[in-house]
Every structure is written in structure tokens, then in C-alpha cells.
Amino acid sequence: MAIIEVKQLTKVFGNDAGRALPLLEQGWSKEKIAREAKLTVGVNKAEFSIDEGEIFVIMGLSGSGKSTLVRLLNRLIEPTGGQVFFKGKDVVKMNSEELRTFRRKNIGMVFQKFGLFPHRSVLANAEYGLEVQGVDKRERTRLAMEALELVGLKGWENHRPDQLSGGMQQRVGLARGLANDPDILLMDEAFSALDPLIRKDMQQELLELQARVKKTIVFITHDLDEALRIGDRIALMKDGVIVQIGTPEEILIQPANKYVERFVEDVDLSKVLTASHIMRQPEMIRPERGPRVALQLMRDSGVSSLYVANNEMKLQGVLTADDASRALKENKSILEVLQREIPRVSPDTLLNDLFELMSETHLPVAVVDEADKLKGIVIKGAVLSALAGNAVPEGGYGS
Ligand code: ADP
Ligand code: MG
């Protein structure tokens, strides 16, 4: 279900900004509008919807319109045109009372420079949003303490921000954003000021936190690595326009145009793509079938081995044509001759690691879940092809 839906959302800065709308309609660029109408296009007819519980990343270079877009969602910036729906209700049409309630109950915000007050305690900083909203002292202390515990800062509430490391300060900012238990957390370059290593930790922590609290998160970054690491989907912006929306894999493997292609060209696919992206359906057989059936199946489908899985899809092993012939000759069952020692990986194994594994084996690698259920197989050609940056065909690779 979509929690946020945005239609033709537009922001133009400058005097009588509405003048720009017909010009945008005619396809004028941001640059032309700046030159000839003396107006700045912040966001140009953005359209997307965000699902409940999703981490939606807005990515783009500095000045591409990310901050403007995210501030339009809760009307910290008034749109010049278009609509924002929160659970079906048009935020742009809300009166000031409704808007206040919407911001208090449904939205939390986290900013880049943490936005902490140095003279206030960690607790008072975490309470700040609630205080502004007029929540009474006892209640806001209770809520802020809960949020601090959630981000792992229990015991630090009476310290001042400058007694904390950068990562911990960012967590105070996060606690403040979470204190009102919002449906949606808006994070504008929240990790951009952190050192690279601390930043990676925070990304991981955010993913873990999100798995626990299941908030919808709109996360802004100009960093592609960060976007790929944490985004369920990514919207890539340029000059106020969203040029592509997709999963990290879609952005990498099927860039919508030259701009996106250039944006992602330096990405090391082997560290992003996983076994689940390139696996294909194996030819299978049940263990209770006989070797004669197995040989027939191999002939029919033109393969020289079959994956043996029981009726719960639990992987038993691989049966080669030679194994099957031997079983036929010696009057044995499939289970007596199949090879049980076959390479297995989990679906989220990175190509990088797969590649190493595959150089040591001639068999395809079986992709199994934590219950050893067969999900697919990866053949060597698929790994090489994906590493070479070729698009993954629909339905995975053929043999
Ligand atoms: P980003 O967050 O991606 O760096 P912004 O949303 O801050 O980009 O800015 C998008 C565009 O809008 C830029 O061209 C910027 O100069 C312009 N802009 C942002 N805020 C204002 C403002 N208050 N007044 C005029 N122009 C603005
Ligand atoms: Mg910004």
C-alpha cells in the first residue's frame, strides 16, 4: 500500500513563480527558465509513490532538488504545483491545523548537521520536537527516553552533545526524529557529515532499526554507495527532474539513459549483485523417481545433470547422466548414486564471493535458503556475463 503518493509535484523559487508552470509544460529546461524567466526550478513535476515500510532513497548531485523535494512532502516548502497524498489525503489542501497534526503525528525529520543544541542535554535534545509541539513534560520525557533506548543511547541522556562521538550525536538526531513515533522518517543527508567508517556503521544500524520499527523512510543522499546499500528503491534526480526510479539492481543493470549510466558506471557490480539476481531455474527430479525417468528427463531438456529435491524442495544433491546410467545398470535408486557434496550458497551471496567459489568447481552452484530449500542455480557463464556488465535477461540466464 502506498503511504505517500506524489503527482506532478513542482517547486519554483522566485517572484510570481507560477509563471514557470506553463513553461515547464512546454518542456523548458531549468537552465532556460533561469535565463529567460529569472526563476529557479527546484523540483520539476515529480511523480512517485512510496510503499509503507519502504526505504525510499532520493539521490542526486548537489543542487539537483533533493532537499526541496523532501521538504515539499511535509510542506516545509509550499509547492508551486502538484499534489502530495499521505494515505490518500492531499497534504497540499490541509489547513494549518491539519498540517500541524500531520507533522506532529506522522512525520519525523533528521538533518545533516544533527541540528543539536550544544547547551542542552542529550535527553532535552531528543525531546525538542515534542516540546515544540506542546507535549507535556512527563510525556515527552517518556517518549524521548524510549527513542534514545531504541538508538542505543540509554544511559547517555544527561550528557551534553559535545561529550559524544559524531556517530552518537547522529543517533541523538535520529532519536529526536523517532520520538513522536512517526509513520514516516525524512532523513536529509543525515549521514553525510560522518567519517566513512562510522557512516557505514550508521547505515547498518539504520537497516537494523528499520527492521525492528518498520517505519517508512525517505532517505536523501548524494552518495551512490550509500543509496545502493540502504535503498529498497532509489529515485535519481537531475536538475529538479526524477530521471529514474528503481531498485538498486534496476538502476545498475538497466540505466534509463546516458545520465544514469554515467552516474553508475564506476560501481563495482561484483560487490552489489548477488546470487539471487543471476540464478536460474534448475532442471529437477524427485528422489523417489527411477534412473530411467531421470535419463529421459535429461534427454528431453538437453541437460547432463539434474538437481534432486524432495517434495519440500529440500536439496538432496545432483544426479549426472553417468550416475543415472550406473544406477540403471546396477539396479540402484537415485538416492544411492547422487552426489551430495555440491557447492551451496545463500541467495544474498555477492558475485565477488561466488566468483571465487566457482573457480574451484566445475558444477553449477546451488542457491539454497536457510532451510536448505533449493531456490535456483548459478552457472559460471552467468557470473562472468554479469561481471562484464551485461543486462540480466528476464527470468535469469539460460545455460
Ligand atoms: P539538493 O538538496 O539536491 O542539493 P536543493 O533542493 O537544495 O538541492 O536545491 C535545488 C535547486 O533549488 C537549486 O538550484 C537551489 O539553488 C534552488 N533553491 C533551493 N532553495 C532555494 C531557495 N530558498 N531560494 C531559491 N532557490 C533555492
Ligand atoms: Mg540538500
pLDDT at 373: 94
**What is the structure's pLDDT at 188?**
94
Q: Whose alpha carbon is nearest atom 13 of ligand 1?
A: 63
Q: What is the mean pLDDT of each run of 10 residues along the chain (399 residues)?
A: 96 97 96 96 98 96 96 96 97 95 92 83 94 91 95 94 90 92 94 86 89 93 90 95 92 88 83 85 92 94 92 93 95 94 91 85 88 92 74 48
Give the number of whichever ligand sits closest to the CA of residue 113. 2
pLDDT tens digits, 48-75: 999 999 999 999 999 999 999 999 999 9
For cell 520520538, what's the residue? 179
pTM comes to 0.78
The three cell numbers of residue 345 are 550458497
Query: Ligand 1 pocket: which of 11, 32, 40, 187 to mutate (most atoms <8 Å of CB)?
Result: 40
> Which residues, 6 or more positions from 23, have their beta carbon under 8 angstroms from its beta carbon?
32, 33, 37
8 A C-beta contact, residue 308 and residue 282: no
**Among protein residues, the one whose CA lies closest to atom 14 of ligand 1:** 63
CA–CA gap between residue 151 and residue 168 (Å, rounded): 9
List, chain by chain if needed, residues with CB within 6 Å of any ligand 1 atom.
13, 40, 42, 60, 62-68
Domains of the chain: 2-117+183-267 (3.40.50.300), 275-387 (3.10.580.10)
Residues 394, 193: Cα–Cα separation, whole Å: 40
Nearest residue (by CA) to ligand 1, atom 24, is 13
Alpha carbon distance 63, 43 (integer Å): 10
Residues contacting residue 93 through CB under 8 Å, at least 6 positions apart: none
Spacing, Cα 224 to ligand 2 middle (Å): 15
Rounded to whole angstroms, the Cα distance separating 237 from 64 reads 6
Neighbours of 238 (CB within 10 A): 19
Q: Compute, in angstroms, the gap from residue 235 CA to the centroid of ligand 1.
A: 17
Q: Which three cell numbers stand for residue 231?
A: 535503498
Q: Which residue, among 229, 224, 225, has the nearest Cα to 260 in the 3D structure?
A: 224
